């Protein structure tokens, strides 16, 4: 059996030090786990799951201390970990297990029902509850030989949060640790910071809140509650939560509800996960300023572990609309369709280079033996421009376009234009664009669509308004276009 190497082999080396400082707590209890207690619990579980060979571990995530212990334990034991959405339907989880063939599945006791059903049906798993309160499900029938996991692989994260998608990002330990440090530096996280970990941990943004705070010596408060619930903010006030991360959906809700909900302890607001209406950004920036706090706009992708840029609070007014500059150690460039670099303010594909870039993608167990296919360079698929000072402005996606009457129209740009009326999702239907909305009345939306059509010099009939009960979104709050298109059968 390999010797446990928590300080070097784990994804959070700083937890290795035996310190009495508080580190983590969830909203089911009132006691903080100290850093040494977190380390001890993780090493205790790591001893149970250690083996001679590197294994693949599926970790069914909840916003709980058990999930955090499971993640650290698997890393300490030298295994690769795939973070799994615990709400996956049984058939989706079964398909993932079949595709990736994990040797071990970890789950908190209260999220093991689906696994229990699978185990009962297949007879291929055994389970027991560890001292850390994590249920372990171990494969008992290996079948044909499994592909060996690459030594550098540490983490598998879903590319988009799409439920049941088998496409995962392969991340190394070095990339995760590097990005945790980059984020901590950009946000000035320190031992006094308390990150509000309300985003799902299987979502890269949610995980980065945890890694950046623990790596910087701060604390994380894991909470499973909605920001629109009064109980959410009373919990945050009770622990003195200071750093609030949100996606556009969260900030749109806060803009409606008002800043009075947010306790005074919250001084740092970070926004990522997609474009936010500039008016709402300005409102959040003003709120933060009034409470002597800071508002950071961030941009990233799971493929970058996941953050790439930050717009500092002090730069917001003079660089409104920007997502900031590259994180420390990273580099941004804009290239044309042939890959040639463009000058300042030239619009093209955004390219990021840095120590936090993924190894590559995986679709099945067969891909886990692959090495570094990216070599630190990520073509993001986003369109944008860099100004003369290196600030990045995003303008759309390379594949989020429709061609109407000979004109190439950006669907993301149209969505932003219509956001003033209501939240919409735009889908390319060939010679038409579907504008999907949730409004009872279409009057205001129709008027704005007619204005847009005139501006774009295309017939207003090029837009088709479709009403739906709810626009589907992933854990990040981003619109799930594939699911929407399937539900509308367009």
Least confident among 103-107, 233-237, 373-377: 103-107
Give me the pLDDT at residue 230, please: 84
In DSSP terms, 482 is beta-bridged to none
Output the pLDDT for position 163.
Answer: 46
Give one DSSP letter per residue of 27-72, joined into a string. TT-S-PEEHHHHHHHHHHHHHHH--SS--EEEEE--SSHHHHHHHH
**Lowest model confidence (mean pLDDT) among 79-93, 122-136, 143-157, 410-424:** 122-136
Q: What is the CATH number of domain 6-146?
A: 3.40.50.980
pLDDT per residue as tens digits for the range 11-26: 656 564 557 899 999 9
Pairing mode, strands 153-158 and 80-84: parallel
Q: Write the pLDDT tens digit of every residue in 226-278.
A: 998 989 999 999 999 999 999 888 998 999 888 889 999 999 999 998 888 89
* CATH number, domain 401-488: 3.30.300.30
Q: How far apart are CA 292 and CA 267, in angstroms?
A: 7
Q: For position 261, what pLDDT does the model report? A: 92
Q: What is the percentage of the chain residues whose pLDDT exceeds 90? A: 63
CATH superfamily of 173-355+377-397: ANL, N-terminal domain (3.40.50.12780)
**Gap between the Cα atoms of 459 and 450, Å rounded:** 8
Q: Do domains 6-146 and 173-355+377-397 have the same CATH topology?
A: yes
| pLDDT per residue as tens digits for the range 55-76 | 999 998 999 999 999 999 999 9
| Mean pLDDT to the nearest integer, 150-168 | 81
Lowest mean per-residue pLDDT among 41-55, 373-387, 396-410: 396-410
Higher pLDDT, 76 or 7: 76
Beta carbons within 8 Å of 8's beta carbon, 6+ residues apart: none
Chain-wide mean pLDDT for the chain?
Answer: 88
- The answer to whether residue 490 scores a pLDDT higher than 70 is no
Q: Is 162 a residue whose pLDDT tops 50?
A: no
Residue 8 has pLDDT above 70, yes or no: no
pLDDT band, very low/low/confident/very high, at 483 (cuts 50, 70, 90) = confident
List the one residue out of 227, 187, 229 whose CA is nearest residue 208.
Answer: 187
The model's pLDDT over 404-426, given as tens digits with 9 standing for 90+, comes to 866 778 898 899 889 889 989 99
pLDDT for 360 beyond 60: yes
Residue with tokens 């789950």: 107
For the residues 386-409, what does the mean pLDDT come to? 86
Every domain of the chain and the residues it spans: 6-146, 173-355+377-397, 401-488
Q: What is the pTM of this model?
A: 0.84
């Amino acid at each position: 059996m390999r010797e446990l190497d928590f300080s070097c082999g784990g994804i959070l080396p700083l937890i290795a030090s035996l310190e009495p400082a508080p580190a983590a707590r969830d909203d089911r209890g009132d006691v903080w786990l100290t850093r040494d207690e977190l380390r001890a619990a993780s090493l205790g579980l790591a001893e149970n799951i250690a083996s001679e060979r590197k294994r693949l571990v599926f970790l069914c995530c909840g916003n709980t201390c058990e999930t955090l212990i499971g993640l650290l334990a698997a890393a300490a034991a030298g295994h690769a970990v795939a973070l799994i959405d615990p709400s996956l339907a049984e058939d989706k989880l079964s398909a993932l297990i079949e595709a990736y063939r994990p040797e071990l599945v970890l789950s908190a006791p209260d999220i093991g029902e689906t696994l229990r059903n699978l185990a009962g049906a297949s007879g291929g798993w055994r389970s027991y509850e560890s001292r850390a309160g994590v249920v372990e499900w171990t494969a008992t029938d290996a079948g044909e030989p499994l592909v060996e996991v690459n030594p550098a692989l540490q983490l598998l994260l879903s590319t988009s949060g799409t439920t049941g998608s088998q496409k995962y990002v392969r991340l190394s330990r070095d990339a995760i640790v590097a990005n945790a440090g980059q984020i901590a530096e950009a946000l000035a996280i320190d031992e006094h910071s308390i990150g509000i970990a309300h985003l799902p941990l299987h979502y890269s943004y949610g995980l980065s809140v945890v890694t950046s705070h623990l790596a910087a010596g701060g604390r994380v408060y894991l909470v499973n509650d909605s920001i629109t619930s009064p109980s959410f903010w009373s919990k945050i006030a009770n622990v003195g939560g200071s750093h609030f991360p949100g996606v556009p959906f969260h900030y749109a809700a806060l803009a409606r509800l008002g800043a009075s909900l947010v306790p005074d302890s919250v001084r740092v607001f970070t926004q990522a996960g997609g474009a936010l209406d500039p008016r709402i950004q300005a409102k959040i920036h003003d709120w933060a300023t009034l409470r002597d706090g800071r508002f950071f706009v961030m941009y990233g992708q799971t493929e970058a572990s996941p953050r790439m840029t930050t717009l500092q609070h002090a730069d917001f007014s003079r660089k409104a609309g920007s997502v900031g500059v590259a994180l420390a150690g990273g580099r941004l460039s804009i290239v044309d369709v042939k890959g040639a670099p463009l000058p300042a303010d030239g619009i093209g594909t955004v390219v990021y280079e840095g120590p936090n870039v993924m190894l590559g993608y995986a679709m099945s167990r067969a891909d886990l033996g692959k090495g570094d296919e990216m070599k630190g360079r990520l073509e993001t698929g986003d369109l944008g421009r860099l100004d003369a000072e290196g600030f990045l402005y995003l303008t759309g996606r390379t594949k989020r376009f429709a061609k109407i009457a000979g004109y190439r129209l950006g669907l993301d740009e149209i969505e932003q234009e219509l956001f003033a009326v209501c939240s919409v999702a735009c889908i390319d239907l060939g010679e038409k664009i579907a504008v999907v909305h949730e409004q009872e009345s279409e009057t205001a939306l129709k008027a704005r669509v007619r204005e847009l059509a005139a501006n774009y010099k295309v017939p207003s009939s090029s837009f088709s308004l479709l009403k739906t009960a709810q626009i589907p979104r992933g854990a990040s709050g981003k619109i799930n276009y594939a699911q929407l298109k399937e539900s509308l059968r367009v």
